Amino acid sequence: MMRTRPLKVALLGCGVVGSEVARIMTTHADDLAARIGAPVELAGVAVRRPSRVREGIDPSLVTTDATALVKRGDIDVVVEVIGGIEPARTLITTAFEHGASVVSANKALLAQDGAALHAAAEEHDADLYYEAAVAGAIPLIRPLRESLAGDKVNRVLGIVNGTTNFILDKMDSTGAGYQEALDEATALGYAEADPTADVEAFDAAAKAAILAGIAFHTRVRLDDVYREGMTEVTAADFATAKEMGCTIKLLAICERAADGASVTARVHPAMIPLSHPLASVRGAYNAVFVESDASGQLMFYGPGAGGAPTASAVLGDLVAVCRNRLNGATGPGESAYAALPVSGMGEVVTRFHISLDVADKPGVLAQVATVFAEHGVSIDTVRQQGRQDGGGEASLVVVTHRASDAALNGTVEALRKLDTVRGVASIMRVEGE
Ligand SMILES: NC(=O)c1ccc[n+]([C@@H]2O[C@H](COP(=O)([O-])OP(=O)(O)OC[C@H]3O[C@@H](n4cnc5c(N)ncnc54)[C@H](O)[C@@H]3O)[C@@H](O)[C@H]2O)c1
Ligand SMILES: N[C@@H](CCO)C(=O)O
Ligand code: NA
């Protein structure tokens, strides 16, 4: 039966995502009410620049005082789409203290302070939902938290940043320059306010921390995630990848160790074979594989960024949180009971592609191979190519079998000390095989 008193929603931030949330709340008001069992009313919209015209939003709802809005006491759900750490964190905790539940898209904040925010939600019998924080529109948080709650997740691997996938895809398919591709991603509303978060992979690392935490029932913070951005990926790297039948993607990889006693989380550019489904993820799309004991491999795919797709995830959370409130209940909170240690990058085992500039003379190959053997790194393939410039140098491209990051680092350090190795041109991990 439909309740007539509306549930009141406060919207904090009316930018790319917030303006779409407001639009959908208005245009889909009847459907949302029917699905929830009560009407939802936009009770206030906190903005930074009140003079901006906001189509479809009653100007009397607009305020620059977000704190007063969350303190009103009659707000049922606060939707935080401001981003960043402060004032978002204080506004969310104040919202809990004043009886509201919270829906947020803020991965940076959740990766840094998720545990404290969950504790605050629990203390005040409120919900904290954040489907939009990871992989935009793609349902991923709720499947991990709820649908897979009876299974054991061993690995989460995928593309979780739309901006960098858009840039890498453009560079690969059209030969576009890095800046040109980034400007386009920003204009389309994919990039963060400061695109450093995207291209230096802080955004993807925050998402990896959130995913690993939920998947492994363990607290994983941003600082626990190994991070390498994509600003140093060059056209030459794409050419090498192509020669190997691969492309380059910025991947987030969260894994349980083989003995199950620890976990790792990392974000870095990697080569993947063109035959792998992740290789054909284009533009700002995201795709994430989840591997679990009973389910086997699941793939989640869809728009990972942009105003409307992200608003879709926010609205889904809003409906769920409103239903919980009508039932006098709360949904699942933090689950960190496993408390597994999070290992550093040295423990990660993967394959590597290493390109060396070496002297083009007898015995060099044997010398290089010996260094790999001494560090316990097994070589899969080696390709040597003499240079046409007559400088007496050659390129040596080595692809290894699976080896630990620590063993590979030791190998590279020793290779650099050989007189015959003039330089290490590139090192890239090879995933997805
Ligand atoms: N854009 C996307 O594709 C996308 C996807 C997923 C998640 N997110 C997340 O959603 C959140 C919002 O992102 P966005 O792209 O809409 O950013 P945005 O910069 O377009 O919007 C944020 C808005 O908040 C306003 N704001 C800042 N401080 C404020 C304050 N104190 N009070 C009221 N308003 C304030 C800004 O003026 C701006 O209009 C971020 O956490 C972001 O990481 C964005
Ligand atoms: N800037 C982010 C937004 C979605 O979280 C991206 O490009 O993926
Ligand atoms: Na999502």
Q: Tell me the per-residue pLDDT of 1-27, one tens digit each, with 9 for 90 and over.
A: 787 899 999 999 999 999 999 999 999
Token output for 338 = 């496993």
- In CATH, 7-135+308-327 is 3.60.10.10: no
Helices (H), 177-255: 178-187, 196-199, 202-216, 235-243
86: tokens are 């402060």
The whole-number pLDDT of residue 3 equals 79
User: Is 18 part of any known ligand binding site?
Assistant: yes
Ligand-binding site membership of 99 (annotated): no
19 is in an annotated binding site: yes
Best residue among 12, 14, 17 to mutate for probing ligand 1's pocket (most ligand atoms within 8 Å of CB) is 17
pTM of the model: 0.96
> What is the distance between the alpha carbons of residues 206 and 417, in angstroms, rounded to a whole number?
36
CATH pick for 140-303 out of 1.10.3720.10, 3.30.360.10, 3.40.50.880, 3.40.50.300: 3.30.360.10
Q: At which residue do the structure tokens 């590597």 appear?
A: 352
Evaluate if residue 382 carries a pLDDT over 70: yes
Task: Please compute the mean of the pLDDT values over residues 38-59 and round it to a whole number.
Answer: 92
Residue 389 has pLDDT above 70, yes or no: no
pLDDT at 345: 92
- What is the 24 CA–ligand 1 centroid distance (Å)? 17
Instruction: State which H helix or E strand residue 123 sits in.
Output: helix 107-123
Tokens linked to 238: 């794409």
Common-topology check for domains 140-303 and 348-430: no
Q: Which residues surround ligand 3, an ion (CB under 5 A)?
A: 131, 135, 138, 140, 313
Ligand 2 center to 138 CA (angstroms): 12
391 Cα: distance to centroid of ligand 2 (angstroms):
45
Among the bound ligands, the one closest to the CA of 131:
3
Q: What is the pLDDT of residue 178?
A: 85
Q: Is the minimum distance from the CB of 306 to ligand 1 under 6 angstroms?
A: yes
Ligand nearest to the CA of 106: 1
Token pair in block for residue 267: 């974000």
DSSP states along 290-341: EEETTTEEEEEEEE-SSHHHHHHHHHHHHHHHHHHHHTT--------TT---
Return the active site residues: 207
Best residue for ligand 2 mutational test, from 17, 165, 198 (most atoms within 8 Å of Cβ): 198
Number of helical (H) and strand (E) elements in the chain, helices listed first: 14, 17
CB 48 within 8 A of CB 338: no
Average pLDDT over residues 21-35: 97
Domain boundaries, the chain: 7-135+308-327, 140-303, 348-430
CATH architecture of 348-430: 2-Layer Sandwich (3.30)
**Ligand approaching nearest to the C-alpha of 166:** 2
Give the distance (Å) from ligand 2 centre to CA of residue 304: 6
Contact residues of ligand 2, CB 6 A cut-off = 136, 161-163, 190-192, 198, 203, 304-305
Pair of tokens at residue 354: 């290493």
- The answer to whether residue 353 scores a pLDDT higher than 80 is yes
